Structure 1
Amino acid sequence: MSQTKTYRLTVSGRVQGVGYRYFVEDSAVFLGVKGFVRNMPDNKVEIVCQGDEKSMEQFFTSVKKGPAFARVDEIIKDRISNDINYNSFEIKY
């Protein structure tokens, strides 16, 4: 069994008002990635995601592409501690 890793992604570009959070949630559920996604006041999106290495790499590829009307300009990826074990993936408001 692979070791669980947790990351914080900060996504910038045209990622609010285009269905990006719903796309991220669908991708996470499909790949078995846990955590959350939320809009930030600076028009960026924050994703905290947790999963095994293979699932996470597929997830990173998916969120970089985004849905049709989104434009991802930059993703800042930081590895963070596994202090919290997420049981699902959700959109936070």
Structure 2
Amino acid sequence: MQKSYQIKVYGRVQGVGFRWFAQNLAQECHIVGWVQNENDGTVDMKIQGDAVDMINFLEKVKRGPGPYSHVEKIVKQPIASFDSNNFAIR
């Protein structure tokens, strides 16, 4: 079953390779959508995929790309499905 979410990631998530990490992870987990930095220091994602793949993706996102990043919290909001066939960095 397909799930679609708007995700807001808080913490030390800019300048640490987070978007690149999210893109590679999304490809590995068969997730489509996009990721972008926001002016408030958060990272915003629009993601879509199978429910099981989504759980796997979000669990790994919580860990972040490495020792220089720190995810404080993730806010997940269900959204309407959208058309995409890849995961882009914006």
Tell me what 1:65 maps to: 63
Residue identity over aligned pairs, in percent, reads 38
Note if 1:75 corresponds to 2:74.
Answer: yes
With the length of structure 2 as denominator, give the TM-score of the two structures. Answer: 0.96
Where in structure 1 do 4 or more consecutive aligned residues deviate above 3 Å?
none
Q: Would you say how many aligned residue pairs link Structure 1 and Structure 2? A: 89
What is residue 89 of structure 1 aligned with on the other side? 87
3-state DSSP of counterpart to 2:40: coil
- Paired residue for 1:47, among 28, 45, 55? 45
Letter in 1 for 2:38: M
TM-superposed CA distance for 1:67, in Å, is 1.0
What is the Cα-based RMSD across aligned positions, in Å?
Answer: 0.6
TM-score (norm 1): 0.93
1:50-74, Cα deviation, whole Å (9 max, x unpaired): 0000100000001111111110001
Shift of 1:86: 1.2
The runs of 5 or more residues in structure 2 that have no matched partner are none
Distance (Å, rounded) in 2 between the aligned partners of 1:31 and 1:76: 19
